[in-house]
Chain A
Amino acid sequence: DAGVIQSPRHEVTEMGQEVTLRCKPISGHNSLFWYRQTMMRGLELLIYFNNNVPIDDSGMPEDRFSAKMPNASFSTLKIQPSEPRDSAVYFCASSPRGTGWYEQYFGPGTRLTVT
């Protein structure tokens, strides 16, 4: 398996622009997680899906952030409008929770810079 795939790997955008990050989980995994990592705040869970349904979005910072999972093989995290404080590395992870093993497999991340 190719592992969790994220795109783009790097994104530089200007404040106010819309940003869309994409994630393809490992086939057969039924849970998907979006994280944000910064030096100041560490690794923060933004939202997680189980069987394509959003379960916990309490970590989503504000209404500018939205996430969707239209099917088991694709998810997006959208920021609209983007702000400089959104600059971070965004990770997507998936997990085969149905098996009882909750270990997460992380994608390579998207480094977002908002100027």
Chain B
Amino acid sequence: NAGVMQNPRHLVRRRGQEARLRCSPMKGHSHVYWYRQLPEEGLKFMVYLQKENIIDESGMPKERFSAEFPKEGPSILRIQQVVRGDSAAYFCASSPGQGLHGYTFGSGTRLTVV
């Protein structure tokens, strides 16, 4: 029974490149959440998606960041024209429905911008 799968685990990008982070939710989960964690900090909410819908993007930076959760396939967090300040761990969580029941985190993608 696979948990929330994130890939890649580590990603290195040069400034100006694009970063694509993938999240496959747990089986039976149709709600996905993305968080960002800077060193020595707690996680900060970015976006909440259901299949083909963005429910809450109140934590997403206004530029360069986008997220999708298509009908088929994983959820994607896309960062265009990365800058050094984008270096962080990005975590995805999934849940079977609204609310916190069954809310489970993945192991994260560590993005380093050089």
A and B bound?
no
